Amino acid sequence: MRHQPVNSAGAYPRFWDGNETCRGAWRPSLRRVMATITLFIAIQVAIAAYTYYYCYEHVYPGSKTATVIDRSYSVFHFVYWASVAFAIIFNFVLSFLVCCYAVGPIQRWFPCYRLAGAVMLCVVGSWPIWISALIDSIWQNAVWDNACHGWDITAVLEGIGSVDTLGVSTYSVGLATIVLASGGSYTMQLFLQPSNSSGVINYDNYKFNVTEQVNHIPPLSNITYIINATTTIYSTNDTTGSYSLDPNLSFPSLGLELNDPSIPFATNGSHPPAANLVLHNGSHIWNVLNTVTLSPSNCTLLKVCGTTHDGMEEDFQIALGVVLMEQFVYSIACSKGSGVGSYSGGSESGGLSIYSSPQSSSSKGLGGHDTGPGEGLG
C-alpha cells in the first residue's frame, strides 16, 4: 500500500508547494477569470480615485475641492477608509488564490517562487493603505518646490507656533520671506502689540515691518493693522484703508476680492488661510495673491505667490500681512498636533479661542474677541 508523501511541516499541505489540494480550492473558468479581473480593476480604480482626492485635500488645502471635502469630512473619510479596508481584504484573497493556482507551473522555471509570492501578497494586497502617504509626500514636495512658477513673487510665511505668555509687550508672531523672480528679496516681520484699556488687555494691534532687504526696495516698509469686534483697518505711511473678514476676506479700498468667495479664508485654526485675491480691471482680472500649500515638513510654513505688475506689489504686501495673521493662528493649532477638521467653533479644548462669541474674561483674544478664563495663545 502506497502512502501520500508528507512535507516537512507535517501532514498539512502548504500552498507554497503547489499542492493540488490548495489549487483545487479555486478552479477558474474563462468567465470567472474575466469577472474577477474586471472586479479587481474596478476596485483599484475606485481606490486610486479616492486616494487622488484624499491627497489633493492635503496638497491644496485652499482649493475648492478641499472645501467641498471638508464640508462632508467625516463621511468622506469614513467611506475612504472603509473602501481601503475592503480593497485590502479583496486584494489579499485574490493574490493568495493567484499564487495558489500558479505556484505549480511557476516553480518549474522560477526557483524563487516563494519570495515572489510573498512580495505579491504584500505589495498588491496592502497598496491601498500605504499608497496615499507615498503620493502625498511626492506630490506635496513637487508642488512646494514649483508652486509659484510664472509668478513675480514667491513668499514663504512662517507663523510662530506658540506664544507661552501674553502681556503688554510686543511679540513676534510671524515672518515673511519674499523673493522676486526679477532678483532681490526682503523679509517682513509681524508683531503683535497688545493694548491695555481699563485693565483689559486687547490683542488687536499688529505691525508688519520690513526687517531686511537685498537688491530691492519694497514699496511699503511699515504696515499697521487694527482688528477688533467693529473695526478692521490697515494704515501705511500715508494711507489708511479698510478690509473685511465677514463674510469673507476682501479689501474694498484696494479693489481686491477673492476669486472664489465660497472658499473660506479663515477657519479659526482648522485649516491654513486660503486666499486667491484678484483685482478686476474692466474685463481683465489680475491675480494679486494666491496661497498654495504648506511645507511638507513644517505645518507653520505656507507658500504664497504674488505679483508686482503695475504697482500691485504694495497691494500684495498689505494683503500678505492679513494672511500671515491667520497663518499665525493656524501654526498654533497645528503645532499642538491638531489635525484638519479637529477644531470646532473656533476653539480647541484647553487652548486657543479666536473669532468666537464674546464671553466673560479678563482679556481679549485675536480679532478683539474675548478668550475664556485661563485661555491664551500658547
| Alpha-carbon span 259 to 190, nearest angstrom | 26
The torsion angle over the Cα atoms of residues 48, 49, 55 and 61, rounded to 10 degrees, is 180
CB 288 within 8 A of CB 256: yes
| Separation between Cα atoms, residue 42 and residue 48, nearest integer Å | 10
| Confidence at residue 118, expressed as pLDDT on a 0 to 100 scale | 67
- Which amino acid would we find at residue 285? I
Phi/psi for 206 (5° steps) reads -125, 145
Task: Give yes or no for a contact between 144 and 136, defined as CB atoms under 8 angstroms apart.
Answer: no
Chain centre to alpha carbon of residue 57: 6
The amino acid at residue 2 is R
Q: Which residues contact 268 (CB under 8 A, 6 or more apart)?
A: 329, 343, 345, 346, 347, 354, 355, 356
Beta bridge partners of 209: 189, 222
* Full pLDDT tens readout for the chain, 378 residues: 555 554 444 444 444 444 454 555 556 677 877 888 899 899 999 999 999 999 999 999 999 999 999 888 889 989 999 999 998 888 888 877 776 666 555 555 555 566 666 666 677 778 888 899 999 999 999 999 999 999 999 999 999 876 655 555 778 899 999 999 999 999 999 999 887 777 777 778 999 999 999 999 999 999 999 987 778 999 998 789 999 988 899 999 899 999 999 999 988 888 899 999 999 877 788 999 999 999 999 999 999 999 998 889 999 999 999 999 999 999 988 887 654 433 333 333 333 333 333 333 333 344 443 333 334 444
Contacts of 43 (CB under 8 A, 6+ apart): 86, 87, 90, 91
Q: How far apart are CA 64 and CA 376, in angstroms?
A: 32
Nearest-angstrom CA–CA distance, 228 and 203 = 8
pLDDT value of position 113 = 61
Cell of 10: 507535517
SS3 for the chain, per residue? CCCCCCECCECCCCHHHCCHHHHCCCCCCHHHHHHHHHHHHHHHHHHHHHHHHHHHHHHCCCCHHHHHHHHCHHHHHHHHHHHHHHHHHHHHHHHHHHHHHHHHHHHHHCCCHHHHHHHHHHHHHHHHHHHHHHHHHHHHHHHHHHCCCCCCEEEEEEECCCCCCCCCCCEEEEEEEEEECCCCEEEEEEEECCEEECCEEECCEEEEEEEEEECCCCCCCEEEEEECCCCEEEECCCCEEECECCCCCEECCCCEEECCCCCCCCCCCCCCCCCEEEEEECCEEEEEEEEEEECCCCCCEEEEEECCHHHCHHHHHHHHHHHHHHHHHHHHHHHCCCCCCCCECCECCCCCECCCCCCCCCEECHHHCECCCCCCCC
Q: Give the pLDDT of residue 107.
A: 57
**φ, ψ at 246 (rounded to 5°):** -130, 120
Which residue is it, cell 499642538? 336
Omega prior to 272 cis, within 30 of 0: no
Burial class (CB within 10 angstroms; exposed 0-12, middle 13-18, buried 19+) of 270: buried
